[in-house]
Structure 1
């Protein structure tokens, strides 16, 4: 009572101050009105007193009236009437967003109702475990608690509608899991009654959400009911009942979408439904027991969420946005993935193609509905038709084999990019690029399953190879389409899109194309190696030479691939970055061939000459002559390296460095061939003649090659050719003095020294004879 009296006295004092302030303002206004009335008649009096004959003076003095009138105007400009308002405490502007008010009035009530529901559940569970109450009492208590919460919500609706909505949603969630407990765990009510009650609750929740026009009711009432499976635990074993319960809830969401499309509610229900289903599917699914359940309820979820999305778009005519697009594609992909796993285990996947076509038909049906209604965003039609094309495209390969995921990604990448570029929808192009990463990972997984496991595959005629080619064609199609249909619209993010199409996608295409054929060649020789086994008494023997041939053919293929890439760099793709990349990769390939390749060729030659395991495996002259096949591939690649070095796109220094590198590669190949010839012609003393080739043969060969380079450099007036030749002469001389003379017979020492000395004299003679030519116009 004292507090009320104090507050009333404060209000009286405030009102009395307001009255005094209004009285003061009224007095001021009255004085201003009297002043205006007085000034209104003052000009006429001045006209009477001023001499009427002096018209100019009379006019001037009449025109001077504004000087007097400005005084009240200045008073009016001060706008005292604007101050005739309640005191400052009644004129406070509306406060901006208050975090405290938001937390206290919005967040806390939701947390509170969630905690209340959890508390009720924990209390019921505790009483159940302790045997304090019977199952019937628990269920009755649950219904009473839910009813009490609903009653409270109804009473609070008039004054506190937002708070009432949260309370009502909590009450509906309580009734939901109480009904499920009564049927699933305790068996107190039959299935028909339980489902009828659940339908009634769902209908009431949808009705309440529509009346309140608030998402909280749907989130807590419908989505909150998804917590039931976790409260029940895994011991119920009634999967069909659980998914039926979830289906009823999702149907309620679907019905609600006819009038409302609350994003948070739809995203949460979509996520929870598929997460719960996928967890069960990957952990508990058994084809013999759950096949029908999995097909029926996965289809129900897919159709419900598809309708949930489409119905609102058709009714509202809203434009397609990124979140809707992700939701639609994710729903399609999750359902298709689960369906492929299910049907792949039915009669060895005989129905996979039919299931894929069924997906295409579903998307075709909705695309037709969108097409008929011209007011709906055309982007949605293009998206659905893209899905139709994707599923029809991969139906036949899926029927043949189960590499469906990679095929799906490959087709999706090209189709979405094609739709985006043809119809000038930039978002579709970005979506195609986002699918590149999962597509590549899916292809790598296919490679691991096919090539890194002991499997028998028909070379170049297997589903993994065809899947890889599909990805190659998809990315090549994107690049081709980008070239034929360049970006013109100013609305496009030209810089970002062009960089993605011009750099990452070509690099990925290059790598996928290379490894597509690489793994096929590798797996072919590995299969031959595994099939060459010979069982002996204590161990199994394999033909190790097949591994040498495997690596050599892989190097030959790499040389051919890099030659083709260099050819494209020279003729078609005329960019400096591509030319540099091609030259570097070609140089790396040649280095590998001259190191690993020559080593493997030497091993094959040694096995052929020594007859290593010849009693178990066939060894023919192919072991010797195969080196010339390798040299053919090497020569083609080195020729393209020479053409690359002459391109204007590269620096001039490359033109000088590249010939030196090419000469080095040629010299290494000739040195290896010299050893090969000497060893083959003296097969009975391989070790001795191999050593002679290294000590004497290489020194003489290098001297002759240096002389040839110097002569060519003098003829062409190329200083940067002669200098490396002189350096090579120096290396040969150092080799002769340090390495060759040790362990050589006197005759061979004489041959080496005399040959190198003669060559040096010839070089000196050439420099003396052509000195004027060299110094006059040298490059």
Structure 2
């Protein structure tokens, strides 16, 4: 140890001599420069020649290649100079910082080996060991202080090493040798931490502050502070207050983060250690005080700091209440306690936001702070309601809260609150589908489930309306947010509506699988009316899709029905096809009425639905004819089978011909090329059926009826084309021009 002190003294003397030599050299340079400046050159006239003007232009525009001209090639010498500079920087980092750190480590290890040898051979007493360690730490810190002005990094490293040695000496005096009690040890640790923090502030050294902070949070792990909650939490309150005061004046974000981590770790250790239910009030009160320190610091930083340094403030503002809540969950006995705790946090932030808005007429940056607190309050209140309520009630409360978040964000122009409202609306919808679609209601429509659905529908309708009226130039609103909010409102309302009518049908209809396609078709027609009235394209497209799915579903569900329960031609299959056709005609009428508001793609979709309606109706009547005659075959004698089968085939052919003929007429008079093409295709299918199928299987009288019907209808159709040739040509020409 004595050799270490002697080496340090010699090192101080050497540095002192070097500094004197440098000062003498600097004074010689100053005297030489002053002697050169005594010979002042004569004033020179300013040359405004083109060459000098060109130089001036180059100064004004030092980077002309940014305007499109070629960038100048960097000379090889310049590149070599740059690479040499980078190598010098690397050399400086290695030579100054790395070598210094390794040197300090080597010295500490050497001292450690010497001390171990001395201790093993009882060369130094316990008291002298502590004294020498303290002296070594003080000397190292003194050298660091002496060098910190000229060599900051080097000096700060020695300061940190000195504080560490002093800290270890105090720890050895308390823990290893029991030379001092816990209170003197606490005083020593506190003094070392305070001195280190003060020097860090004076020298503006963040690493030194980090060393001191780590030492401060180690104190409760060394000393029995946990024996009394008042001692432990008073120490943490003072330590956090000091750290955050330093962070208030120094832009050192790591301090706040480290203090939160350190305090949270010690708090968790307390909860899983000495804590018991009798200390509930004391523990929660002290934790609330620490929470208040961080909250107050966030508020002050938001008021006084520059805008560029609010990243850490944002972290504190949003993370502190969450950490505060999570750390104290175990203190609560049940969900009711947790719900009240979360509700209290939410109400606190709402009250503070209200006080700020009421007390400060010119909010300025406080507007952002106030809005942020409302954003924090909303999730806590939503979580509290989730813990307190369940089932239908929770869905209703969440729906109301989602609308409240959206309206607050709309009125205060804060996108954060609006986005939280969108998220809660999605959660509400998912909860509704997961928990509230109870299929055991006793009343149709007028039941608890319908009441909940009305709240959810109203929630999504409000979201759609708000995002429909928000103008594009509305501040703090992006196009993506407007699109997302409007789509969530429209799609959510559409899905909830169809879920409602579906579960009501399943709950109260015996053969709901037969009636659901019809219910969906009617629902799609209603949705079309709402979509056209609201000018909402998303709902229109969803209605197109749902209407088509309902028609396709009808093909599967109504392929074969029990004619013993339903009369032929007057049953659910025919009714569904007729209602589907009526719904498509309704859509077509609305499309014609609002054609200027529709997209080009919608015209093709409407035409596709018209074709689907024709196919569905044609299929439904065909199935009725087939099932009608097949039912007669079941009760007929064998000699009647052929006659019934021939009649069925002829009836099908005549029905198809009449349907194609009517379609052709409608296509001509309504100027619909799609309907005309559909009728011609149906004519072709019927012709093939009569010539290839009916001719081979029918008797003569049936063939006569089929061919006569085919001939008459085709002749009339051909005459119609001759009669309205000019009109049809005009339609085709207009369609070509539109295309």
Residue 586 of structure 2: which of 639, 664, 680 is its match?
A: 639
Residue 671 of structure 1: which of 601, 604, 619 is its match?
A: 619
Give the superposition deviation at 1:669.
Answer: 3.2
Q: Give SS of 1:648's match.
A: helix
Give the superposition deviation at 1:725.
Answer: 1.7
In 2, distance between residues paired with 1:466 and 1:111? 70
Residue 219 of structure 1: which of 210, 229, 238 is its match?
A: 210
In 2, distance between residues paired with 1:520 and 1:178? 75
**For residues 583-732 of structure 1, what are the structure 2 equivalents within 5 Å?**
584-602=541-559, 605-606=561-562, 625=572, 628=575, 632=579, 635-636=582-583, 639-644=586-591, 647-650=595-598, 658-659=606-607, 661-676=609-624, 679=627, 699-732=653-686
Contact 2:338 2:387 in 1 (8 A): no
**For residues 553-564 of structure 1, what are the structure 2 equivalents within 5 Å?**
553=516, 559=521, 562-563=524-525
In 1, distance between residues paired with 2:166 and 2:98? 22
Contact 2:353 2:371 in 1 (8 A): no
Relative to structure 1, the CA distance from residue 96 to residue 242 in structure 2 (aligned partners, 3 Å threshold; closer, same or farther) is farther
Contact 2:302 2:366 in 1 (8 A): no
Relative to structure 1, the CA distance from residue 764 to residue 718 in structure 2 (aligned partners, 3 Å threshold; closer, same or farther) is same
> Does 2:467 align with 1:479?
yes
Give the superposition deviation at 1:157.
Answer: 1.8
In 2, distance between residues paired with 1:463 and 1:297? 45
Q: Give SS of 2:596's match.
A: coil
In 2, distance between residues paired with 1:469 and 1:766? 52
Partner of 2:715: 761
Q: Which moved more, 1:246-255 or 1:461-470?
A: 461-470
Relative to structure 1, the CA distance from residue 255 to residue 338 in structure 2 (aligned partners, 3 Å threshold; closer, same or farther) is same
Residue 450 of structure 1: which of 410, 431, 435 is its match?
A: 435
Q: How many residues align?
A: 638
In 2, distance between residues paired with 1:320 and 1:21? 44
In 1, distance between residues paired with 2:730 and 2:713? 25
> Does 2:339 align with 1:352?
yes
Partner of 2:56: none
In 2, distance between residues paired with 1:183 and 1:412? 59
Contact 1:320 1:380 in 2 (8 A): no
Q: Give SS of 2:470's match.
A: helix
Q: Which moved more, 1:708-717 or 1:182-191?
A: 182-191
**Residues 461-496 of structure 1, C-alpha deviations (whole Å, 9 max, x = no match):** 49996895686367336415514xx636xxx58xxx
Give the superposition deviation at 1:682.
Answer: 6.7
Contact 1:171 1:221 in 2 (8 A): no
Relative to structure 1, the CA distance from residue 777 to residue 112 in structure 2 (aligned partners, 3 Å threshold; closer, same or farther) is same
What is the TM-score with the length of structure 2 in the denominator? 0.62
Q: Give SS of 1:503's match.
A: helix
**Residues 554-611 of structure 1, C-alpha deviations (whole Å, 9 max, x = no match):** x6676566545544553343xxxx64x55544433232112223312446x34x959x
Residue 493 of structure 2: which of 509, 513, 534 is its match?
A: 513
RMSD: 6.7
**Residues 319-359 of structure 1, C-alpha deviations (whole Å, 9 max, x = no match):** 995663454134335545776x669x844536625641443
In 2, distance between residues paired with 1:242 and 1:684? 98
**For residues 44-193 of structure 1, what are the structure 2 equivalents within 5 Å?**
100=90, 103=93, 152-160=140-148, 161-165=152-156, 168=159
Give the superposition deviation at 1:396.
Answer: 5.7
Contact 1:675 1:694 in 2 (8 A): no
**Residues 274-317 of structure 1, C-alpha deviations (whole Å, 9 max, x = no match):** 79989999x99x99999999967875664343233124445669
Relative to structure 1, the CA distance from residue 524 to residue 583 in structure 2 (aligned partners, 3 Å threshold; closer, same or farther) is closer
Residue 532 of structure 2: which of 561, 570, 573 is its match?
A: 570
In 1, distance between residues paired with 2:138 and 2:458? 59
**For residues 12-23 of structure 1, what are the structure 2 equivalents within 5 Å?**
none
In 2, distance between residues paired with 1:665 and 1:266? 68
Contact 2:402 2:459 in 1 (8 A): yes
Give the superposition deviation at 1:517.
Answer: 4.3
Structure 2 residue runs of 5 or longer lacking an equivalent are 1-13, 48-84, 636-640, 735-739
Give the superposition deviation at 1:660.
Answer: 6.0
